[in-house]
Homo-oligomer: A and B are copies of this chain.
Amino acid sequence: MKVVIIGGVAGGMSAATRFRRLDENAEIVVLEKGPYVSFANCGLPYYISGEISDRSQLVVQTPEKLRQRFNLDVRPNHEVLQILPAEHEVVVSHAGQRLHESYDKLILSPGAEPIMPDLPGVTAADNVYALRNIPDLNRIMDGIQTKSVQHVLVVGGGFIGLEVAENLKLSGLAVTVVEQAPHVLPPLDTEMAAFVRAELKRNGVDVIAGHALASLASNGQTAILTDGTRLQTDLTIMAVGVRPASRLAQTAGLKLGLNAGIVVDEHYQTSDPDIYAVGDAIVVKQQLTGQPALIPLASPANRQGRQVADNLAGLNHPNRGSLGTAIVRVFQLAAAATGFSEYQADQLGLTYQVVHVRGESHAGYFPGGTPMTLKLVFNPKTGQIYGAQGVGEQGVDKRIDILATAIKGGLTIEDLPELELTYAPPFGSAKDPVNMLGYAAMNVAEGISHTIQWYELPAALAAGRQLLDVRDPDELPAGQFKDSLNIPLNQLRERLSELDVQQPYVVSCFSGQRSYIAERLLRQRGFNVVNLDGAFALYHAIRPQDLV
């Protein structure tokens, strides 16, 4: 059997190596249009700052080593121009020549392409870049060195945009991020992204959210935003997202779906039975809804590459879909998400509730821990977990991984308190923040706690609820809700007469934990009361201007 693979990185090379392990006799040809194969796309941003200092570290494998170890015929600088399904051939451009290569089975893993917005002045500009591969990186590094760059504009505040912005800043440049959505990191919800924005600000990165790039002028030296703002930029990075690299597939007549992603069945077979596809280029099944989705991440791409090899070799390992778990480091902070955000749950019309919990990366009594904020989106009726988000300095990756595992396993909110996680003081807490999310979610689901979200507060106050703040007096200088009443939790029982049982209340504290305790106390004493989920800490992150 002769297998030809288009694209020699995450999905493509994983397919090649696995197929070789399963079939020592097959002929395996990997065609890669770029000069490198098997490189660490995900590491590229860190070369900008020098955190990854040696370019060779970015190259995981070379054609020569892949030949020796796996007997792979790996051909960089070979771009496939056309697929001829009827002839079982691909047309390849190499060193100015056009070659034909035959195949029995063809695997496409061409990845995704950075979107270059078709805006006035973009084509004319000579300082606009995108980052997908090592040549792109080289161009950016050259640009920085040769253009005496001081001001950089990063268009797009998603995962890659923020990584690039962080590393540009770390290398000493002045960086502005423009994000069209109302906040950076759109896969996170507003209030969670607010922590990221604060960290960007703390580190001197300017963020303009809610406005898009409208055009470039003066050879790209001036960026004009949709609201008319003009920014000076010596170098502009476009990081407004990617789209499936499906042009080849399209001209070959293969079926395309969502956003022109390649449609495959659960064995990665395209509409042509001898052509398979994996990675960023394909439409996957979102695991929670079964709906089509594009999830351009390395973990699924690697897995799919291995699975398509399995299926070709006769092992039945179907694609079970993707969840989408992502993380980004933004200076000291980590921000991560898995499954659906609240915004997405809303868009999908799901019945959902939300809880926020503030926890420590490890036991509070042991030195070195740092706080984190976790958010859970779940179905209060069935307990199904729809998604989770986390921000904090340490241990956010761990918590989101646990929750991603819980979602994959179909665990419900009732199972979260049951998780027995590694606990010794340097590593965790007897009740891990993940357990705590489960407790808080169950309290909401079982009607033990009635919460409102930060965005519901203004309406609740307008409707006549009084805000009761149960923090201690020494915490108040950090900020207070306007017209709030303060009774520290530990004095609440004895000062109950200061409250009016006819008056509806919303209780707040710092994290939402003490106000929950106050809520329980008050409800049982006949009060109409709700807890402000996430309380002051969350509200302060997103709407500090509302506080006095």
A interface residues (Cβ-Cβ under 8 A, vs B)? 10, 21-25, 40, 42-43, 46, 51-52, 57-58, 60, 65, 68-71, 159, 163, 297-303, 306, 315, 320, 322-329, 334, 336, 338, 363, 365-367, 396-398, 400-402, 404-406, 408-411, 415, 417-428, 430-432, 435, 439, 446, 448, 489-491, 493, 517, 520-521, 524-525
Contacts and interface: CB of A to CB of B under 8 A. Distances in A.
A422 B404 CA distance: 9
B411 A408 contact: yes
Contacts of A425: 40, 42-43, 46, 52
Contacts of A303: 417-418, 431, 435
Contact of A10 (B23, B406, B430): B430
A134 B310 CA distance: 58
Contacts of A521: 24
Minimum-distance CB pairs A-B, first 6 = A409-B409, A327-B422, A24-B524, A68-B490, A298-B430, A398-B398
30 contacts: A21-B448, A21-B520, A22-B448, A22-B520, A40-B363, A43-B363, A46-B366, A46-B425, A60-B365, A297-B423, A299-B421, A299-B432, A299-B435, A306-B439, A320-B418, A325-B420, A327-B424, A327-B427, A396-B422, A397-B427, A401-B419, A401-B422, A404-B421, A405-B406, A405-B409, A405-B411, A406-B409, A408-B409, A409-B409, A409-B415
A199 to B, nearest CB: 14
A397 B363 contact: no
Given A298-B430, A315-B446, A398-B398, 7 more contacts: A40-B425, A43-B363, A46-B425, A68-B493, A298-B423, A405-B405, A408-B411
Contacts of A327: 422-424, 427-428
Contact of A300 (B10, B70, B297, B420): B420
Contact of A334 (B365, B401, B427): B427
A46 B425 CA distance: 9
Contacts of A322: 420
A23 B448 CA distance: 11
A408 B418 contact: yes
A353 to B, nearest CB: 18
Contact of A65 (B46, B338, B420, B490): B490
A351 B444 CA distance: 42
B402 A401 contact: yes
A39 to B, nearest CB: 9
A422 B409 contact: no
Nearest to A66: B490
Given A406-B409, A490-B69, A491-B68, A424 B21 contact: no
Contact of A366 (B21, B52, B432): B52
A60 B24 CA distance: 62
Contacts of A491: 68
B400 A402 contact: no
Contacts of A401: 398, 401-402, 419, 421-422, 428
Contacts of A320: 418
A520 B23 CA distance: 9
Nearest to A303: B417
B428 A42 contact: no
A42 B423 contact: yes
A18 to B, nearest CB: 9
Contacts of A21: 448, 517, 520
A511 to B, nearest CB: 15
